[in-house]
Structure 1
């Protein structure tokens, strides 16, 4: 398989007052189509900045990021939003569900933005919720669900458009160990089934063990990349 993401010479510098803070120094990284890659590092290591750059949420100070053949740093905001809509799904640590919407409505949001008719998006959303074990919670709002259930809704939303790439930023950070295992098994099984590329950012080595490769990042630099041995 070919590379779906290619990062070359990426540097990210933030200006805080008169000071420059180097978040990423000189990053080179290639990720294959269908790969599960974990970006592992402590708080402040630059891992979330790297994810934000790959997801097109921020632009690099220098360097290139090619996703699915497109140099995303060259896209304007409108084209970038469209690119994300067509290629990328997100799973967030804090779930990011809209409190006034029920599970079906939250999951169908990406399809709403694409202009998919309501009866089709509702049908797909219900099927996704059943796939993540929430077939009895279709009309529940976030306040009526546990953290694990809310994250399952978040997972269903991320995958509903069948994106080529799913980014997950500390997706189990607010969950207990049992729910963490359930959520990780769910994310990986859906991605494997559809040959989707999965990139997860974490500080937790037990989460990294699910990946095909672990990219260790510290002080804005990649320290090493290791393949995970599967039992």
Structure 2
């Protein structure tokens, strides 16, 4: 598989008064096209900061972030926003759905920026909602749906238009075990079907087991990378026993 994301010497330092906090310390990482990659770590490990840097939501203090041959860290806000609209989808822990819009309207929303006609947007949104099992919830608003259903809408919104990269930040954090399994199976099915790249951040070992690779982050550094299924299971067992 070809490399779609390459990170070189990535650092992030936050200044809080006179205190300096190193959230990331010289991270080097390559992510391949079509893989499900999990960034695993405890609260404060730097995992969400790393995702935010890759996604262009925050600027690094130093280092390079190259996605599809383009340096994200050199882009201004307008350029990185346009890049995300064209190549990236997001799934968040808190769903981030617009409360006054229906499921159909929430999923169709990102396609407005692509200039698609309303009829085409709604057709694609309906197709994607049907794919995630919500074909009978098109006209429901977030308040009329369960947490699991809302996250399915969020997933449909992230995957509509088939973006090459999808970022998921603690996407199953508010879900029960049964719904977490359903959501993760949906994630892996969709990325493998469309040869997309999924980068998910989690502290949950049961979620990490769905990944092709698990990147263990601790104190702003990559502690190790589990590359095979046996290594992933062994690494998760070690964490459970620790």
TM over 0.5: yes
* Corresponding residue for residue 10 of structure 2: 10
Q: Report the alpha carbon displacement of residue 228 of structure 1 after superposing the two structures with TM.
A: 3.6
Deviations 1:24-52, CA, capped at 9 Å, x for gaps: 01100000000110000000000000000
Partner SS, residue 216 of structure 2: strand
Counterpart contact for 1:104–1:138, Cα < 8 Å: yes
Counterpart contact for 1:41–1:217, Cα < 8 Å: yes
TM-score (normalised: structure 2): 0.94
* Corresponding residue for residue 210 of structure 2: 210
Q: Which moved more, 1:108-117 or 1:62-71?
A: 108-117
* Corresponding residue for residue 178 of structure 2: 178
Q: Report the alpha carbon displacement of residue 67 of structure 1 after superposing the two structures with TM.
A: 0.4
Counterpart contact for 1:211–1:228, Cα < 8 Å: no
Partner SS, residue 229 of structure 2: coil
* Corresponding residue for residue 236 of structure 2: none
1:1-231 equivalences in 2 (<5 Å): 1-229=1-229
Which segments of structure 1 move beyond 6 Å, counting only runs of 4 or more? none
Q: Distance in 2 between matches of 1:108 and 1:56?
A: 23
- Tell me how large the CA RMSD over aligned residues is: 1.0
Deviations 1:73-115, CA, capped at 9 Å, x for gaps: 0111111100000010000000000000000000011101222
Q: Distance in 2 between matches of 1:103 and 1:21?
A: 40
Q: Distance in 2 between matches of 1:14 and 1:80?
A: 21
Deviations 1:143-172, CA, capped at 9 Å, x for gaps: 000000000000000000211100000000
More helix by share: 2
Q: Distance in 1 between matches of 2:95 and 2:123?
A: 22
In structure 1, the gaps of 5 or more residues are: none
Q: Report the alpha carbon displacement of residue 17 of structure 1 after superposing the two structures with TM.
A: 1.2
Q: Distance in 1 between matches of 2:113 and 2:153?
A: 18
Q: Distance in 1 between matches of 2:89 and 2:228?
A: 24
Q: Which moved more, 1:46-55 or 1:14-23?
A: 14-23
In structure 2, the gaps of 5 or more residues are: 234-242
Q: Distance in 2 between matches of 1:20 and 1:107?
A: 40
Q: Distance in 1 between matches of 2:224 and 2:9?
A: 16
